[in-house]
Amino acid sequence: MARKADVGDLVERAQKGEPRAVARLISLIENASPQLRPVMAALNPLAGKARIIGLTGAPGVGKSTSTSALVRAFRAQGLRVGVLAVDPSSPFTGGALLGDRVRMQDHASDPGVFIRSMASRGHLGGLSWAAPQAIRVLDAAGCDVVLVETVGVGQAEVEIASLADSTIVLVAPGMGDSIQAAKAGILEIADVFVVNKADRDGVQQTVRDLRNMIALADPGGWKPPIVPTVAVRDEGLGDLVEQLGRHLAWMEGAGELQRRRQARARDEIEAIAVTTLRERMGDLHGHQRLDVLAGKVLDGSCDPYTAADELVEGLTGP
Amino acid sequence: MARKADVGDLVERAQKGEPRAVARLISLIENASPQLRPVMAALNPLAGKARIIGLTGAPGVGKSTSTSALVRAFRAQGLRVGVLAVDPSSPFTGGALLGDRVRMQDHASDPGVFIRSMASRGHLGGLSWAAPQAIRVLDAAGCDVVLVETVGVGQAEVEIASLADSTIVLVAPGMGDSIQAAKAGILEIADVFVVNKADRDGVQQTVRDLRNMIALADPGGWKPPIVPTVAVRDEGLGDLVEQLGRHLAWMEGAGELQRRRQARARDEIEAIAVTTLRERMGDLHGHQRLDVLAGKVLDGSCDPYTAADELVEGLTGP
């Protein structure tokens, strides 16, 4: 763990874009270090400039390839790019398990690109606690764009959307079932649909399915465009970047960018507050207290709500 | 919403196994009704008899079919069976979206089977808040076995495991990638592996992969057996039920059943306590207060930890 005197130094080096300092700060988040408090206090005024773009989709749609292609596209515009790859399926290990980080090696020697994987372990408050802090690190380190990629299924997709200014939902031809299954969710979160692997059979059908789904929902306001890509050959990436730019311009005009960032800050504050309260529940009562209550619920002598009241009372009582 | 006088009546009817009363009680959970407090107080002493079996796996492995086959197998033993199908990917709608509940229609006219789908909406505290309460309802309604099935990916898999006495992880031949991706997680949670669709090519390879993975990990204690099944034809179900019985006997002998149930009660109490505190944060400060703090974090004048402290202080201060 960094000593107290190191915090200022670490932050200063991260602000200059030094990769090792950035990596160190993100490790502090993964380890839920007590030093996060002064670190975030120092970083917060430096952040707020980056565009945050979320990228999600079912396994097999080509998320890593697409992220890598987007990195190239933004780099070609001279922008500094951060990538945060979140793996919500790895709650047990310290490191994230994203399989083909290998492709990301393309960017390993580029000083304008930061890439970090992060496991979102449940006991730390999960994605909603850790990810905004990691994004702040990349933002303060001078990234113009931060791509947040997740192995997106279920709840994680929704959380990614709540972290980002714009969310890309990736699908691939012939995955009709997964579109069907995710329908309710992806329409709510997608700002841009990408149909990747658009050189495969069935791309027209997939585009039609998406178009119908969007038309049926018709929420007014922003209508998510559908961009076919072949990320492995960088095809369609120009169009994707353009549509992301359109979305950003629309959000700025409609006050939506401010609204989303405000909601994000609220979520982050609440997640930190809940984590604090959770820690206090452990600290004050000790696990013994909770064990006694759990025993009573099990033997039927106390119901879970009354047991929870007893826990809460210890925090909020006089 | 049920009137106060109805609570006792509802609980009594649920205890007699009346399906409409059971359905009504589970709806109270989905709606986070204030009446849950007296309901859970009344139900808790009636529960604790059911075996809770979790069932998870990637999309396409045949979870619904396997659940249905397990229901038949337990019914053949004369046991009453509850099924709770949890869909963590449906945070937006009131009802769960599990596609092929249709197969479950096989059991629709069987009074010894209760089937309920449940969406785990994030804002209520999610699965860890709702599922134990729904399980308690089915348990108190006289189910000998409660099967908890989830669209299992990532965090949801882990949560299911923490809800169940025994957890079945389903895989299918030719899904090597998903096994690879989920490796770290599934080894920790699987008490029994099922290789479904065992009439397909590649089943031997999948069994070998699993066996190697288990051998490498070798945590001591229980070694998860691997059961090939063809659930759609009820093949292998006898073996699966036998292995589940072996696991139950092992847990009872090793004190593991008590340990798991104790951990579950702790988790439930904590989840209810956190939900209570979250509600109070909203109530006491109002969303306006949180909005002011979020604004300060956004303009850089306050860091998120200090903002969270201000929220927490309002709860725990004098």
Q: Are strands B226-228 and B145-150 parallel, antiparallel or unpaired?
A: unpaired
Give tens-digit pLDDT for B41-55: 999 999 999 999 999
Q: What is the DSSP code string of A104-169?
A: GGGGTT-TTEEEEEEE--GGGT-HHHHHHHHHHHHHHTT-SEEEEEE---THHHHHHHHH-SEEEE
Residue A309 lies in a domain: yes
A297 in the same domain as A195: no
Residue A168 lies in a domain: yes
Dihedral angle computed from the Cα positions of residues A89, A94, A95 and A98, in that order, rounded to the nearest 10 degrees: -10
Burial letters A139-152, b for 16+ CB under 10 A, else e: bbbbbbbbbbbbbb
Residue B275 lies in a domain: yes
**Cα radius of gyration (chain A):** 21
A291 in the same domain as A156: no
d(CA A238, nearest CA chain B) in Å: 31
Domain end: B223, B254, B285, which one?
Answer: B254
A213 in the same domain as A92: yes
| Structure tokens that stand for B103 in this block | 């197969």
- Indicate yes or no: CB of B178 within 8 angstroms of CB of A59: yes
**Domain enclosing residue A303, as ranges:** 268-316
A63 in the same domain as A197: yes
Domain end: B254, B280, B301, which one?
Answer: B254
Q: How far apart are CA A128 and CA A264, in angstroms?
A: 9
H helices of B46-90, in order, are: 63-76
Residue B27 lies in a domain: no
Q: What is the CATH number of the domain that holds B158?
A: 3.40.50.300
Q: Name the residue in chain A with its Cα closest to that of B154.
A: A89
Per-residue pLDDT band at B318 (split at 50, 70, 90)? very low
User: Which helix H or strand E contains B243, and what residues bound it?
Assistant: helix B237-254
B198 in the same domain as B83: yes
Q: Which among A93, A181, A300 has CB closest to B59?
A: A181
Q: Count of A–B CB contacts within 8 Å?
A: 228
Helix (H, G, I), strand (E, B) or coil at B124: helix
Q: How far apart are CA A76 and CA A78, in angstroms?
A: 5
d(CA B97, nearest CA chain A) in Å: 8
Report whether B150 contacts B88 (CB < 8 A): yes
B289 in the same domain as B249: no
A199 in the same domain as A282: no
Of the residues B89, B260, B288, the best mutation for testing chain A's interface (the one with the most A CB atoms within 10 Å of its CB) is B89
Residue A160 lies in a domain: yes
Residue B41 lies in a domain: no
A180 in the same domain as A307: no
Q: How far apart are CA B119 and CA B130, in angstroms?
A: 9
Give the phi and the psi of residue B301 in degrees, each rounded to 5: -85, -10
- Indicate yes or no: CB of B181 within 8 angstroms of CB of A59: yes
Count Cα atoms within 13 angstroms, Cβ side, for A49.
Answer: 17
A203 in the same domain as A242: yes
Total length of chain A: 318
Give tens-digit pLDDT for B78-137: 999 999 987 655 433 333 333 334 445 667 778 889 888 776 554 445 677 888 999 999
d(CA A73, nearest CA chain B) in Å: 28
B221 in the same domain as B303: no
Q: Which among B120, B154, B298 has CB closest to A89?
A: B154
H helices of chain A, in order, are: 4-15, 19-30, 36-43, 63-76, 127-140, 155-163, 176-189, 203-217, 237-254, 256-298, 304-316
Helix (H, G, I), strand (E, B) or coil at A220: coil
Which one, of A173, A174, A134, lies nearest residue A150 by Cα? A134
B197 in the same domain as B117: yes
Domain end: B210, B225, B254, which one?
Answer: B254
Residue B3 lies in a domain: no
Q: pLDDT truncated to tens, each residue of chain A (318 aa)?
A: 445 558 889 999 999 989 889 989 988 888 888 888 999 999 999 999 999 999 988 777 888 899 999 999 999 999 999 999 876 554 433 333 333 344 456 677 788 898 887 765 544 456 778 889 999 999 999 999 999 987 655 556 667 778 899 999 998 887 655 555 455 567 778 999 999 999 998 899 889 888 888 888 776 789 999 999 999 999 999 999 999 999 999 999 999 999 999 999 988 998 888 888 877 777 655 567 888 899 999 998 999 999 998 888 877 654
B144 in the same domain as B100: yes
d(CA B69, nearest CA chain A) in Å: 23
Give pLDDT, residue B274.
84
- Indicate yes or no: CB of A298 within 8 angstroms of CB of B274: no
Q: How far apart are CA B224 and CA A173, in angstroms?
A: 37
Q: How far apart are CA B220 and CA B243, in angstroms?
A: 18
Domain count for chain B:
2
Residue A32 lies in a domain: no
